[in-house]
Amino acid sequence: MSHYATPPLPEQLQTLLREARAAHHQHRRQDAERSLDDALTLAQDSPALLLEVVSELWRHGQLVRARDVLRSLLDSLEASPYLLDGAQHTAALIRLGAAQIRLGNLSDALGVLYDALEMSDSGYAALQLGNALRYLGDTEEASGHLSRAFNRAKAERDGTLAIAALCAQGEVAIDAGEGQTAVERFGQGLGISEYARDEVLSVAPLAGLSHAHMVWGYPHKALEIGEKALQRAQDNDDAVGTARALLSLGIATGAATRCEQAIGAAQDAPHEPLRLKAFVAYLERSPAAQGHPTYFDDVSALATDLGMRPEQRRLAALAKDAR
C-alpha cells in the first residue's frame, strides 16, 4: 500500500491489534472480531489511527467493514480536510479503491483511484487503477498505469510495488494469450521477491508463472510451479494467493475440481474478480456445468454485474459452442 507517516499507536490500541492478530491465527474468529470492535471504538476520534485499524481489518479479510470505515472517514474529510495530511488522505483513497476491486465494485473503484492519482503521483494508486481497468477489459489504459507504477517502484526502490506491478503486467499478458511475455514478467517479479524478507511476496509471482507457462505451452513446468505456489500460499495464510494458485493448478491439470476449490477460496478471501475467473475456468473444463442453464446464467449475471468484458466474451463463446 501507499506510504505515509504512521502515528505512534497508543499502548492500548497496540494490545488490541496484537490480540486480534493472535486470535485470527488461532482461528478464534469471535475473539478477533471483539478485539477489532474495541480497536475501532478506541480509534474512532482519530482518522490517522483508524487507518491503522483498517489495515488490520484488511489482514483479516474483513473488506466490507474496512470499506465502510474508509467511506465514513473520507466523508468526514469533506468537512474537515485537516484531519489527515495529504499522504494519509491518498492512502485512504487507495485502500478504498483496492477494497472496491476485491469486492467486485470495479466502476466505483475507478473514481476513487483517479482521485488518488490526481492528488499524488503514487505508484500504488497507478497500480490499483491499472488492476481495476484490466479486469474491466480496458487493456491499453491499464498497461499505461501499470508501467507508471513499475517506473515509480524503480525510482523509489520499492520492491513490493515492483513485484505487484510486474504480476499485474503478467496477468494482462496472460489475458492476451502472450505466454512468453507473461513468463518474463512473472519471472522478473519472482526474482525481486527472492531478495525480500517476506516469503509471501513470492506467492503471486509463482502462481502467475504457473499459469503463464501453461499459456506458453509448458504444462509440466506449470504444474510444478503451481504446486509450489499453493504450498507457499497455504504456509503463509495467503487467501488470495491460495485462490490464484488453485486456479493455476486447475488450468495446468485441466481439473474442474481445482477450479471449484479456487472459486471457494476466492469467495472466502474475498476477491470477486478472481472468483469470476475461476468460475469461467471451471465452466470451460466442465461440460456438465455448461449444460446446467441456471448455473451458466448465474455466472453470466456475475460477469455482467462486475463489468468484466473479457470474461463476458469467454462466456458468450462457451454458450455458442454449447449450441
User: Alpha-carbon distance 51 to 47, whole Å?
Assistant: 6
Residue 77 or residue 301, greater confidence = 301
pLDDT at 2: 47
271 Ramachandran zone, left/alpha/beta (phi>0; psi -120 to 50): beta
Q: Whole-model pTM above 0.85?
A: yes
CB neighbours of residue 77 within 10 Å: 16
The 10s digit of each residue's pLDDT in 270-286 is 999 999 999 999 999 88
- Specify the pLDDT at position 5: 52
- The C-alpha torsion from 240 through 241 and 247 to 250, rounded to 10°, is -140
Pick the range with the lowest mean pLDDT from 5-14, 51-60, 273-282, 305-314. 5-14
pLDDT above 90 (res 291): no
Per-residue pLDDT, 179:
98
Q: How far apart are CA 182 and CA 222, in angstroms?
A: 13
Q: Using CA atoms, how far apart are residues 237 and 146, in angstroms rounded to an integer?
A: 27
pLDDT tens per residue across span 148-173: 999 999 999 999 999 999 999 999 99
Q: What confidence score (pLDDT) does residue 287 get?
A: 77
Higher pLDDT among residues 129 and 81, named by residue: 129
Would you tell me the crossing angle of helices 139-156 and 123-136 to the nearest 10 degrees?
160
Q: Which of 89, 100, 156 is nearest to 131 (CA)?
A: 100
- The fraction of the chain above a pLDDT of 90, given in percent, is 83
Mean pLDDT of the 118-127 span: 95
Give residues with Cβ within 8 angstroms of 117, minimum separation 6: 125, 126, 129, 145
Average pLDDT (53-58) is: 94
Residue 322 has pLDDT above 90, yes or no: no
172, 146 in Cβ contact below 8 A?
Answer: yes
C-alpha grid cell, residue 141: 489504459
Instruction: Please report the pLDDT score of residue 24 as a whole number.
Output: 86
pLDDT at 237 exceeding the cut of 50: yes
- Cis? peptide before 8, omega within 30° of 0: no
- Give mean pLDDT, residues 189-199: 94
Does residue 81 surpass a pLDDT of 60? yes
Find the mean pLDDT for residues 95-121. Answer: 96
Q: What is the largest CA-CA distance in the chain?
A: 64
Q: Which residues of 102-128 are buried (b: 16+ CB within 10 A; e: fewer)?
A: bbbbbebbbebbebbbeebebbbbbbb
The packing angle between helices 219-235 and 239-253, to 10°, is 160
Best CA proximity match to 207, nearest among 234, 230, 175, 180: 230
